[in-house]
Amino acid sequence: MKKYSLIKFLLLCLVFGFGVSSCSEKLDVREGQLNTGDLDYTDASNMIQPLIGAYYEFATRGWEEPLLLGVRGDDVNAGGLGDQQPFADTDRYDYEKNYWMYNSLWNVHYNDIINMNTAILQLENFKEYADEEGIARADQYIAEIKVLRAYLHFNLARVWEDVFIITSNQPEEELELGVSSKADVMQFISDEMDMAIENLPDMRPNERTDIRGGVTKYTAYALKALAHQELENYQEVADAAGAIISSGKFSLYPDFYQLFKKPGELSNESLLEIQYSDYGTEAGDELYHLYAPFGPQNWTPVRENAQSGWGFYEPSEKFIKFMLDRDEETRLVTSVLFTDRGIADLQADGYTDLPAFVSNVTPSGDIINDYARARFASGKHYLPSIQLTDGRNDYSAGKNLIVIRYAEILLMYAEAITLGASAPSISADEAVNIVRDRADMQPLSGVTHQQVLDEKFAELSMELGIRYYDMIRHDKYGELSYDGREFSADDEYLPYPQAQLDALPIEATAVDRDTPTNEILRQLN
Protein backbone atom coordinates (compact mmCIF):
# COMPACT_ATOMS: atom_id res chain seq x y z
CA MET A 1 0.00 0.00 0.00
CA LYS A 2 2.74 2.38 0.98
CA LYS A 3 4.73 1.60 -2.13
CA TYR A 4 1.69 2.06 -4.28
CA SER A 5 1.04 5.55 -2.98
CA LEU A 6 4.70 6.47 -3.41
CA ILE A 7 4.50 5.55 -7.07
CA LYS A 8 1.34 7.59 -7.39
CA PHE A 9 3.06 10.47 -5.71
CA LEU A 10 6.05 10.34 -8.00
CA LEU A 11 3.76 10.12 -10.98
CA LEU A 12 1.89 13.19 -9.82
CA CYS A 13 5.14 15.09 -9.34
CA LEU A 14 6.22 14.15 -12.82
CA VAL A 15 2.99 15.34 -14.37
CA PHE A 16 3.09 18.65 -12.50
CA GLY A 17 6.76 19.13 -13.10
CA PHE A 18 6.35 18.58 -16.82
CA GLY A 19 3.34 20.85 -17.04
CA VAL A 20 4.97 23.65 -15.14
CA SER A 21 8.31 23.62 -16.97
CA SER A 22 6.57 23.79 -20.35
CA CYS A 23 4.93 26.98 -19.09
CA SER A 24 8.20 28.76 -18.42
CA GLU A 25 8.74 29.61 -22.11
CA LYS A 26 5.69 31.82 -21.89
CA LEU A 27 7.66 34.32 -19.83
CA ASP A 28 9.24 35.64 -23.02
CA VAL A 29 5.97 36.30 -24.79
CA ARG A 30 4.65 39.87 -25.27
CA GLU A 31 1.15 39.76 -26.63
CA GLY A 32 -0.96 42.62 -27.88
CA GLN A 33 1.71 45.17 -28.64
CA LEU A 34 3.64 46.15 -31.74
CA ASN A 35 7.17 47.32 -31.18
CA THR A 36 9.35 49.36 -33.48
CA GLY A 37 11.60 46.34 -33.83
CA ASP A 38 8.68 44.25 -35.12
CA LEU A 39 8.26 46.23 -38.34
CA ASP A 40 9.40 44.67 -41.58
CA TYR A 41 11.97 47.20 -42.75
CA THR A 42 12.76 45.20 -45.84
CA ASP A 43 9.38 46.00 -47.36
CA ALA A 44 9.90 49.37 -49.03
CA SER A 45 6.19 49.74 -49.75
CA ASN A 46 5.70 50.51 -46.05
CA MET A 47 8.30 53.23 -46.14
CA ILE A 48 5.75 55.99 -46.53
CA GLN A 49 4.05 55.15 -43.25
CA PRO A 50 6.44 56.96 -40.90
CA LEU A 51 6.22 59.98 -43.22
CA ILE A 52 2.42 60.01 -43.05
CA GLY A 53 2.82 59.70 -39.30
CA ALA A 54 5.00 62.82 -39.31
CA TYR A 55 2.37 64.77 -41.27
CA TYR A 56 -0.17 63.57 -38.73
CA GLU A 57 1.99 64.92 -35.91
CA PHE A 58 2.28 68.19 -37.79
CA ALA A 59 -1.50 68.40 -38.14
CA THR A 60 -2.31 67.74 -34.49
CA ARG A 61 -1.67 71.26 -33.25
CA GLY A 62 -3.11 72.39 -29.93
CA TRP A 63 -5.98 74.84 -30.24
CA GLU A 64 -4.06 77.40 -28.24
CA GLU A 65 -1.02 77.42 -30.54
CA PRO A 66 -2.13 79.82 -33.28
CA LEU A 67 -3.81 81.99 -30.66
CA LEU A 68 -0.75 82.31 -28.54
CA LEU A 69 1.59 82.77 -31.50
CA GLY A 70 -0.51 85.62 -32.80
CA VAL A 71 -2.16 87.40 -29.92
CA ARG A 72 0.64 89.80 -29.05
CA GLY A 73 0.55 91.56 -32.41
CA ASP A 74 -1.11 94.93 -32.87
CA ASP A 75 -3.36 93.35 -35.49
CA VAL A 76 -5.26 91.29 -32.95
CA ASN A 77 -6.41 91.36 -29.33
CA ALA A 78 -7.47 88.69 -26.88
CA GLY A 79 -11.23 88.41 -26.87
CA GLY A 80 -13.03 85.96 -24.69
CA LEU A 81 -13.37 88.48 -21.90
CA GLY A 82 -14.29 86.80 -18.66
CA ASP A 83 -12.40 83.71 -19.70
CA GLN A 84 -8.73 82.76 -19.89
CA GLN A 85 -7.50 85.83 -18.03
CA PRO A 86 -3.78 85.01 -18.46
CA PHE A 87 -4.37 84.90 -22.23
CA ALA A 88 -5.75 88.43 -22.07
CA ASP A 89 -2.80 89.38 -19.86
CA THR A 90 -0.41 87.95 -22.46
CA ASP A 91 -2.01 90.18 -25.05
CA ARG A 92 -1.06 93.08 -22.77
CA TYR A 93 2.52 91.75 -22.38
CA ASP A 94 1.91 90.70 -18.79
CA TYR A 95 3.31 87.19 -18.81
CA GLU A 96 2.52 84.35 -16.41
CA LYS A 97 4.91 81.43 -16.62
CA ASN A 98 2.44 79.15 -14.85
CA TYR A 99 -0.10 79.63 -17.62
CA TRP A 100 -1.01 76.33 -19.22
CA MET A 101 -0.99 77.71 -22.77
CA TYR A 102 2.72 78.46 -22.62
CA ASN A 103 3.47 75.02 -21.34
CA SER A 104 1.25 73.35 -23.88
CA LEU A 105 2.80 75.25 -26.77
CA TRP A 106 6.23 74.10 -25.62
CA ASN A 107 5.19 70.54 -24.91
CA VAL A 108 3.24 69.87 -28.06
CA HIS A 109 5.99 71.30 -30.25
CA TYR A 110 8.75 69.27 -28.64
CA ASN A 111 6.65 66.13 -28.45
CA ASP A 112 6.03 66.35 -32.19
CA ILE A 113 9.72 66.97 -32.80
CA ILE A 114 10.59 63.81 -30.87
CA ASN A 115 8.05 61.74 -32.76
CA MET A 116 9.36 63.10 -36.05
CA ASN A 117 12.86 62.14 -34.99
CA THR A 118 11.64 58.60 -34.38
CA ALA A 119 10.09 58.61 -37.85
CA ILE A 120 13.47 59.62 -39.29
CA LEU A 121 15.14 56.73 -37.45
CA GLN A 122 12.57 54.33 -38.86
CA LEU A 123 13.18 55.66 -42.37
CA GLU A 124 16.89 55.11 -41.85
CA ASN A 125 16.10 51.50 -40.98
CA PHE A 126 14.19 51.16 -44.24
CA LYS A 127 17.04 52.75 -46.08
CA GLU A 128 19.43 50.04 -44.92
CA TYR A 129 17.49 47.38 -46.80
CA ALA A 130 16.37 49.51 -49.74
CA ASP A 131 17.49 49.51 -53.36
CA GLU A 132 18.71 52.64 -55.08
CA GLU A 133 15.23 53.97 -55.81
CA GLY A 134 14.26 53.20 -52.21
CA ILE A 135 17.28 55.01 -50.82
CA ALA A 136 16.40 58.12 -52.80
CA ARG A 137 12.84 57.95 -51.62
CA ALA A 138 13.92 57.50 -47.99
CA ASP A 139 16.19 60.52 -48.33
CA GLN A 140 13.33 62.57 -49.70
CA TYR A 141 11.01 61.51 -46.88
CA ILE A 142 13.65 62.30 -44.30
CA ALA A 143 14.13 65.72 -45.88
CA GLU A 144 10.38 66.35 -45.72
CA ILE A 145 10.28 65.50 -42.05
CA LYS A 146 13.27 67.74 -41.43
CA VAL A 147 11.39 70.67 -42.95
CA LEU A 148 8.39 70.05 -40.69
CA ARG A 149 10.72 69.70 -37.73
CA ALA A 150 12.50 72.91 -38.68
CA TYR A 151 9.23 74.81 -38.66
CA LEU A 152 8.53 73.62 -35.11
CA HIS A 153 11.98 74.74 -33.96
CA PHE A 154 11.39 78.04 -35.73
CA ASN A 155 8.21 78.68 -33.73
CA LEU A 156 9.88 77.77 -30.47
CA ALA A 157 12.81 80.11 -31.00
CA ARG A 158 10.53 82.93 -32.07
CA VAL A 159 8.53 82.60 -28.87
CA TRP A 160 11.25 81.81 -26.31
CA GLU A 161 14.45 83.05 -28.02
CA ASP A 162 16.88 80.41 -26.69
CA VAL A 163 15.57 76.89 -26.94
CA PHE A 164 16.76 73.32 -27.27
CA ILE A 165 17.59 71.88 -30.66
CA ILE A 166 16.43 68.28 -30.58
CA THR A 167 17.40 65.89 -33.36
CA SER A 168 17.22 62.54 -31.58
CA ASN A 169 14.42 60.65 -29.94
CA GLN A 170 16.37 60.12 -26.71
CA PRO A 171 17.07 63.73 -25.90
CA GLU A 172 19.08 63.35 -22.67
CA GLU A 173 22.40 64.26 -24.31
CA GLU A 174 21.00 67.21 -26.22
CA LEU A 175 19.39 68.48 -23.04
CA GLU A 176 22.72 68.36 -21.29
CA LEU A 177 24.17 70.61 -23.96
CA GLY A 178 21.73 73.25 -22.84
CA VAL A 179 19.61 75.64 -24.82
CA SER A 180 20.91 77.12 -28.08
CA SER A 181 20.71 80.81 -28.82
CA LYS A 182 18.01 81.94 -31.18
CA ALA A 183 20.69 82.68 -33.77
CA ASP A 184 22.03 79.15 -33.49
CA VAL A 185 18.56 77.72 -33.90
CA MET A 186 17.98 79.80 -37.04
CA GLN A 187 21.37 78.79 -38.43
CA PHE A 188 20.54 75.15 -37.67
CA ILE A 189 17.30 75.53 -39.63
CA SER A 190 19.12 77.13 -42.54
CA ASP A 191 21.72 74.33 -42.64
CA GLU A 192 19.07 71.65 -42.41
CA MET A 193 17.14 73.31 -45.26
CA ASP A 194 20.23 73.44 -47.45
CA MET A 195 20.58 69.70 -47.08
CA ALA A 196 16.87 69.08 -47.52
CA ILE A 197 16.64 71.13 -50.72
CA GLU A 198 18.96 68.59 -52.38
CA ASN A 199 16.55 65.73 -51.77
CA LEU A 200 13.16 67.35 -52.16
CA PRO A 201 10.98 67.30 -55.29
CA ASP A 202 11.17 70.31 -57.56
CA MET A 203 7.50 71.20 -57.74
CA ARG A 204 4.69 73.03 -55.97
CA PRO A 205 3.21 71.21 -52.99
CA ASN A 206 -0.11 70.82 -54.80
CA GLU A 207 1.67 69.22 -57.74
CA ARG A 208 2.76 66.27 -55.66
CA THR A 209 0.79 63.12 -56.39
CA ASP A 210 2.17 60.89 -53.64
CA ILE A 211 1.56 63.39 -50.84
CA ARG A 212 -0.66 66.13 -52.20
CA GLY A 213 0.17 69.35 -50.43
CA GLY A 214 3.33 67.86 -48.97
CA VAL A 215 6.66 69.55 -48.49
CA THR A 216 8.75 70.38 -51.57
CA LYS A 217 12.04 72.07 -52.30
CA TYR A 218 10.28 75.46 -52.17
CA THR A 219 8.92 74.85 -48.70
CA ALA A 220 12.50 74.39 -47.59
CA TYR A 221 13.52 77.61 -49.33
CA ALA A 222 10.67 79.39 -47.60
CA LEU A 223 11.80 78.19 -44.18
CA LYS A 224 15.35 79.13 -44.99
CA ALA A 225 14.19 82.61 -45.89
CA LEU A 226 12.18 82.88 -42.68
CA ALA A 227 15.12 81.74 -40.58
CA HIS A 228 17.43 84.30 -42.17
CA GLN A 229 14.79 86.97 -41.76
CA GLU A 230 14.97 86.33 -38.02
CA LEU A 231 18.77 86.54 -38.29
CA GLU A 232 18.35 89.74 -40.31
CA ASN A 233 20.59 88.31 -43.04
CA TYR A 234 18.54 90.02 -45.70
CA GLN A 235 20.65 88.94 -48.63
CA GLU A 236 20.07 85.32 -47.68
CA VAL A 237 16.37 86.11 -47.37
CA ALA A 238 16.32 87.62 -50.83
CA ASP A 239 18.25 84.68 -52.30
CA ALA A 240 16.02 82.01 -50.77
CA ALA A 241 12.78 83.86 -51.52
CA GLY A 242 14.13 84.71 -54.96
CA ALA A 243 14.64 81.01 -55.68
CA ILE A 244 10.94 80.48 -55.06
CA ILE A 245 9.90 83.45 -57.17
CA SER A 246 12.28 82.58 -60.02
CA SER A 247 10.96 79.06 -60.23
CA GLY A 248 7.82 80.58 -61.75
CA LYS A 249 5.77 77.84 -60.21
CA PHE A 250 3.84 79.93 -57.72
CA SER A 251 1.07 82.43 -58.15
CA LEU A 252 -1.45 84.12 -55.92
CA TYR A 253 -4.90 82.59 -55.63
CA PRO A 254 -7.10 85.13 -57.42
CA ASP A 255 -9.90 85.32 -54.84
CA PHE A 256 -8.40 86.55 -51.57
CA TYR A 257 -11.62 85.83 -49.63
CA GLN A 258 -11.88 82.24 -50.86
CA LEU A 259 -8.16 81.62 -50.30
CA PHE A 260 -9.04 81.09 -46.63
CA LYS A 261 -12.09 78.98 -47.42
CA LYS A 262 -12.43 75.53 -48.90
CA PRO A 263 -11.99 76.58 -52.57
CA GLY A 264 -8.57 78.04 -51.74
CA GLU A 265 -7.20 74.90 -50.11
CA LEU A 266 -3.88 73.66 -51.55
CA SER A 267 -3.81 76.43 -54.12
CA ASN A 268 -0.84 77.46 -56.22
CA GLU A 269 -0.10 80.02 -53.50
CA SER A 270 0.42 77.47 -50.78
CA LEU A 271 3.94 76.55 -49.63
CA LEU A 272 3.08 74.91 -46.33
CA GLU A 273 -0.43 74.10 -45.30
CA ILE A 274 -1.83 71.93 -42.54
CA GLN A 275 -4.59 69.79 -43.93
CA TYR A 276 -7.83 68.98 -42.14
CA SER A 277 -10.82 67.18 -43.51
CA ASP A 278 -13.95 65.19 -42.87
CA TYR A 279 -13.68 63.81 -46.41
CA GLY A 280 -17.09 65.21 -47.24
CA THR A 281 -18.81 62.54 -45.17
CA GLU A 282 -21.53 63.20 -42.63
CA ALA A 283 -20.14 60.74 -40.15
CA GLY A 284 -16.99 58.81 -39.52
CA ASP A 285 -13.38 59.71 -39.53
CA GLU A 286 -12.24 63.31 -39.48
CA LEU A 287 -9.30 65.40 -38.43
CA TYR A 288 -10.09 68.96 -37.42
CA HIS A 289 -8.30 71.84 -35.92
CA LEU A 290 -10.39 73.44 -33.18
CA TYR A 291 -11.21 76.81 -34.74
CA ALA A 292 -13.95 77.65 -32.20
CA PRO A 293 -11.68 80.07 -30.26
CA PHE A 294 -11.45 82.23 -33.38
CA GLY A 295 -15.16 82.30 -34.05
CA PRO A 296 -17.79 84.84 -32.99
CA GLN A 297 -19.69 83.72 -29.95
CA ASN A 298 -23.12 84.49 -31.35
CA TRP A 299 -24.27 84.20 -34.91
CA THR A 300 -27.12 83.27 -37.16
CA PRO A 301 -25.59 80.96 -39.72
CA VAL A 302 -27.12 80.33 -43.11
CA ARG A 303 -26.87 76.63 -42.56
CA GLU A 304 -28.71 75.65 -39.40
CA ASN A 305 -26.92 74.12 -36.44
CA ALA A 306 -23.53 75.42 -37.53
CA GLN A 307 -21.91 76.16 -34.19
CA SER A 308 -20.55 79.51 -33.20
CA GLY A 309 -17.18 80.06 -31.59
CA TRP A 310 -15.72 81.37 -28.35
CA GLY A 311 -14.74 84.88 -29.36
CA PHE A 312 -11.12 84.59 -28.17
CA TYR A 313 -9.37 86.33 -31.09
CA GLU A 314 -10.46 89.85 -31.87
CA PRO A 315 -8.96 91.90 -34.73
CA SER A 316 -7.81 95.18 -33.21
CA GLU A 317 -9.52 98.47 -33.84
CA LYS A 318 -6.08 99.71 -34.78
CA PHE A 319 -5.92 97.23 -37.63
CA ILE A 320 -9.46 97.93 -38.82
CA LYS A 321 -8.89 101.68 -38.82
CA PHE A 322 -5.58 101.18 -40.63
CA MET A 323 -7.41 99.27 -43.32
CA LEU A 324 -10.28 101.75 -43.53
CA ASP A 325 -7.79 104.56 -43.85
CA ARG A 326 -6.17 102.77 -46.79
CA ASP A 327 -9.54 102.14 -48.42
CA GLU A 328 -8.95 98.43 -48.33
CA GLU A 329 -12.03 96.36 -49.01
CA THR A 330 -11.08 92.84 -50.08
CA ARG A 331 -8.53 92.28 -47.40
CA LEU A 332 -10.57 93.93 -44.64
CA VAL A 333 -13.70 91.95 -45.40
CA THR A 334 -11.64 88.79 -45.52
CA SER A 335 -9.80 89.46 -42.30
CA VAL A 336 -12.56 90.76 -40.03
CA LEU A 337 -16.07 89.69 -39.07
CA PHE A 338 -17.97 92.68 -37.72
CA THR A 339 -20.70 92.92 -35.12
CA ASP A 340 -23.13 95.81 -34.87
CA ARG A 341 -21.60 96.69 -31.53
CA GLY A 342 -18.15 96.87 -33.10
CA ILE A 343 -19.44 98.95 -36.01
CA ALA A 344 -21.09 101.33 -33.54
CA ASP A 345 -17.78 101.72 -31.71
CA LEU A 346 -16.03 102.57 -34.99
CA GLN A 347 -18.70 105.14 -35.75
CA ALA A 348 -18.33 106.61 -32.30
CA ASP A 349 -14.62 106.99 -33.05
CA GLY A 350 -15.35 109.20 -36.03
CA TYR A 351 -15.72 106.62 -38.77
CA THR A 352 -19.22 107.84 -39.40
CA ASP A 353 -19.17 107.23 -43.13
CA LEU A 354 -18.38 103.53 -43.19
CA PRO A 355 -18.55 101.73 -46.53
CA ALA A 356 -21.41 99.30 -46.96
CA PHE A 357 -19.15 96.27 -46.81
CA VAL A 358 -18.55 96.99 -43.13
CA SER A 359 -21.52 94.93 -42.08
CA ASN A 360 -22.42 92.19 -39.65
CA VAL A 361 -23.41 90.01 -42.58
CA THR A 362 -20.47 88.18 -44.11
CA PRO A 363 -20.06 87.93 -47.91
CA SER A 364 -21.35 84.36 -47.47
CA GLY A 365 -24.52 85.47 -45.69
CA ASP A 366 -23.81 84.44 -42.10
CA ILE A 367 -25.03 87.07 -39.63
CA ILE A 368 -22.71 87.90 -36.75
CA ASN A 369 -24.74 88.91 -33.69
CA ASP A 370 -23.50 91.00 -30.79
CA TYR A 371 -21.78 89.15 -27.95
CA ALA A 372 -20.11 90.39 -24.81
CA ARG A 373 -16.71 88.80 -25.25
CA ALA A 374 -15.54 90.67 -28.31
CA ARG A 375 -16.68 93.06 -31.02
CA PHE A 376 -14.89 91.56 -34.01
CA ALA A 377 -13.81 88.09 -35.01
CA SER A 378 -11.12 86.77 -37.30
CA GLY A 379 -12.29 86.28 -40.86
CA LYS A 380 -9.29 84.26 -41.99
CA HIS A 381 -10.23 81.48 -39.56
CA TYR A 382 -13.86 81.55 -40.57
CA LEU A 383 -15.43 79.00 -42.88
CA PRO A 384 -18.86 80.09 -44.14
CA SER A 385 -21.52 77.82 -42.71
CA ILE A 386 -22.62 76.88 -46.23
CA GLN A 387 -19.18 75.38 -46.86
CA LEU A 388 -19.51 72.95 -43.96
CA THR A 389 -20.07 69.32 -44.84
CA ASP A 390 -23.66 68.24 -44.17
CA GLY A 391 -24.01 66.87 -40.67
CA ARG A 392 -20.80 68.53 -39.49
CA ASN A 393 -21.46 71.41 -37.12
CA ASP A 394 -18.14 72.38 -35.57
CA TYR A 395 -17.03 75.93 -36.21
CA SER A 396 -14.95 76.01 -39.42
CA ALA A 397 -14.90 72.21 -39.39
CA GLY A 398 -12.35 70.72 -41.74
CA LYS A 399 -10.78 74.01 -42.82
CA ASN A 400 -7.07 73.87 -43.60
CA LEU A 401 -4.57 76.11 -41.87
CA ILE A 402 -2.18 77.89 -44.22
CA VAL A 403 1.23 78.25 -42.63
CA ILE A 404 3.36 79.77 -45.39
CA ARG A 405 1.95 81.25 -48.59
CA TYR A 406 3.48 82.86 -51.63
CA ALA A 407 2.25 86.37 -50.72
CA GLU A 408 4.43 86.26 -47.62
CA ILE A 409 7.40 85.14 -49.72
CA LEU A 410 6.89 88.05 -52.09
CA LEU A 411 6.65 90.58 -49.28
CA MET A 412 9.57 89.06 -47.37
CA TYR A 413 11.58 89.31 -50.56
CA ALA A 414 10.55 92.92 -51.08
CA GLU A 415 11.40 93.79 -47.49
CA ALA A 416 14.87 92.30 -47.83
CA ILE A 417 15.54 94.36 -50.91
CA THR A 418 14.28 97.58 -49.35
CA LEU A 419 16.70 96.83 -46.53
CA GLY A 420 19.62 96.73 -48.97
CA ALA A 421 19.79 93.20 -50.35
CA SER A 422 20.49 92.93 -54.04
CA ALA A 423 17.62 91.51 -56.03
CA PRO A 424 18.33 88.06 -57.47
CA SER A 425 14.90 87.95 -59.11
CA ILE A 426 12.13 90.49 -59.68
CA SER A 427 12.20 93.98 -58.19
CA ALA A 428 10.72 94.93 -54.84
CA ASP A 429 8.08 97.02 -56.59
CA GLU A 430 7.03 94.09 -58.70
CA ALA A 431 6.81 91.79 -55.72
CA VAL A 432 4.67 94.20 -53.71
CA ASN A 433 2.43 95.02 -56.64
CA ILE A 434 1.62 91.38 -57.33
CA VAL A 435 0.20 91.28 -53.85
CA ARG A 436 -1.56 94.63 -54.12
CA ASP A 437 -3.07 93.77 -57.43
CA ARG A 438 -5.01 90.87 -56.06
CA ALA A 439 -6.37 93.08 -53.30
CA ASP A 440 -7.54 95.62 -55.89
CA MET A 441 -5.01 98.15 -54.64
CA GLN A 442 -3.18 100.57 -56.91
CA PRO A 443 0.43 99.66 -57.74
CA LEU A 444 3.28 101.41 -55.93
CA SER A 445 6.61 102.45 -57.29
CA GLY A 446 9.84 103.03 -55.41
CA VAL A 447 8.48 101.04 -52.55
CA THR A 448 9.99 101.79 -49.13
CA HIS A 449 10.61 99.52 -46.22
CA GLN A 450 7.72 101.09 -44.30
CA GLN A 451 5.41 100.52 -47.24
CA VAL A 452 6.38 96.87 -47.30
CA LEU A 453 5.70 96.58 -43.58
CA ASP A 454 2.31 98.22 -44.08
CA GLU A 455 1.61 95.84 -46.92
CA LYS A 456 2.48 92.91 -44.69
CA PHE A 457 0.17 94.34 -42.04
CA ALA A 458 -2.69 94.53 -44.51
CA GLU A 459 -2.00 91.20 -46.21
CA LEU A 460 -0.86 88.90 -43.42
CA SER A 461 -2.79 90.12 -40.38
CA MET A 462 -4.17 87.50 -37.96
CA GLU A 463 -1.83 84.89 -39.49
CA LEU A 464 0.35 83.16 -36.88
CA GLY A 465 1.90 86.30 -35.42
CA ILE A 466 3.71 87.40 -38.61
CA ARG A 467 2.96 91.03 -37.70
CA TYR A 468 4.22 90.71 -34.14
CA TYR A 469 7.54 89.13 -35.17
CA ASP A 470 8.01 91.87 -37.80
CA MET A 471 7.53 94.49 -35.13
CA ILE A 472 9.96 93.05 -32.60
CA ARG A 473 12.53 92.37 -35.30
CA HIS A 474 12.57 96.05 -36.12
CA ASP A 475 12.19 97.12 -32.47
CA LYS A 476 8.99 98.95 -33.38
CA TYR A 477 7.86 98.96 -29.77
CA GLY A 478 5.80 102.06 -30.39
CA GLU A 479 3.51 100.16 -32.73
CA LEU A 480 3.00 97.51 -30.09
CA SER A 481 2.28 100.15 -27.45
CA TYR A 482 -1.29 100.81 -28.51
CA ASP A 483 -4.66 100.95 -26.78
CA GLY A 484 -3.06 101.51 -23.39
CA ARG A 485 -0.41 98.82 -23.80
CA GLU A 486 3.23 99.49 -23.04
CA PHE A 487 5.77 97.34 -24.82
CA SER A 488 9.45 97.22 -23.94
CA ALA A 489 12.40 95.13 -25.06
CA ASP A 490 11.91 92.81 -22.08
CA ASP A 491 8.53 91.79 -23.42
CA GLU A 492 9.76 90.29 -26.69
CA TYR A 493 9.93 86.70 -25.50
CA LEU A 494 7.74 84.62 -23.25
CA PRO A 495 9.20 83.30 -20.00
CA TYR A 496 9.93 79.58 -19.93
CA PRO A 497 6.94 77.65 -18.59
CA GLN A 498 7.27 76.85 -14.91
CA ALA A 499 6.63 73.17 -15.56
CA GLN A 500 9.64 73.06 -17.89
CA LEU A 501 11.88 74.85 -15.44
CA ASP A 502 10.89 72.23 -12.89
CA ALA A 503 11.32 69.34 -15.27
CA LEU A 504 14.55 70.15 -17.08
CA PRO A 505 17.76 68.94 -15.50
CA ILE A 506 20.09 71.51 -13.98
CA GLU A 507 22.72 70.39 -16.47
CA ALA A 508 20.61 72.01 -19.15
CA THR A 509 22.32 75.27 -18.26
CA ALA A 510 25.84 73.88 -18.09
CA VAL A 511 27.28 74.76 -21.48
CA ASP A 512 26.26 78.17 -22.60
CA ARG A 513 26.26 80.13 -19.39
CA ASP A 514 26.29 83.57 -20.90
CA THR A 515 22.80 83.95 -22.22
CA PRO A 516 20.35 85.78 -20.00
CA THR A 517 17.89 82.91 -20.22
CA ASN A 518 20.42 80.51 -18.85
CA GLU A 519 20.91 82.93 -16.04
CA ILE A 520 17.20 82.72 -15.35
CA LEU A 521 17.27 78.95 -15.57
CA ARG A 522 20.10 78.84 -13.09
CA GLN A 523 18.30 81.04 -10.63
CA LEU A 524 15.13 79.09 -10.90
CA ASN A 525 16.69 75.71 -10.51
Task: Give min distance, CB of 186 to another protein, in A.
Answer: 20
Kindly give, in sequence order, each residue whose CB lies less than 8 Å from that of residue 94, ignoring residues fewer than 6 positions away: none
If one asks whether residue 433 binds another protein (CB under 8 A), the answer comes out as no
Task: Give min distance, CB of 257 to another protein, in A.
Answer: 21
Which residue number, 242 or 342, has a Cβ lying nearer to another protein? 342
- Which residue stretches of 92-131 are H helix? 100-129
Q: What is the DSSP string of 132-187?
A: HHHHHHHHHHHHHHHHHHHHHHHHHHHHHSSB----SSSTHHHHHT-PBPHHHHHH
Residue 16: burial class (beta carbons within 10 Å; 0-12, 13-18, 19+) = exposed
* Residue from 62, 124, 129, 169 in contact with another protein (CB under 8 A): 169
Alpha-carbon distance of 77 to 316, in angstroms, equals 6
If one asks whether residue 275 binds another protein (CB under 8 A), the answer comes out as yes
Number of residues that bind another protein (CB under 8 A): 109
Kindly give, in sequence order, each residue whose CB lies less than 8 Å from that of residue 482, ignoring residues fewer than 6 positions away: 74, 316, 318
Rule CB under 8 A: which of 36-95 touch another protein? 36-39, 48-57, 59, 80-86, 89
Rule CB under 8 A: which of 246-265 touch another protein? none
Task: Give min distance, CB of 73 to another protein, in A.
Answer: 22
Task: Give min distance, CB of 262 to another protein, in A.
Answer: 10
Kindly give, in sequence order, each residue whose CB lies less than 8 Å from that of residue 180, ignoring residues fewer than 6 positions away: 162, 163, 164, 165, 188, 512
If one asks whether residue 298 binds another protein (CB under 8 A), the answer comes out as yes
If one asks whether residue 351 binds another protein (CB under 8 A), the answer comes out as no
Residue 134: burial class (beta carbons within 10 Å; 0-12, 13-18, 19+) = middle
If one asks whether residue 18 binds another protein (CB under 8 A), the answer comes out as no
Contact characters 356-395, another protein, x per CB under 8 A = ---------------xxx-----------------x-x--
Other CB atoms closer than 10 Å to residue 385's CB: what's the count? 24
Alpha-carbon distance of 263 to 365, in angstroms, equals 17
If one asks whether residue 203 binds another protein (CB under 8 A), the answer comes out as no
Which residue number, 309 or 465, has a Cβ lying nearer to another protein? 309
Task: Give min distance, CB of 157 to another protein, in A.
Answer: 15
Contact characters 498-517, another protein, x per CB under 8 A = xxxxxxxxxx----------
Task: Give min distance, CB of 292 to another protein, in A.
Answer: 9
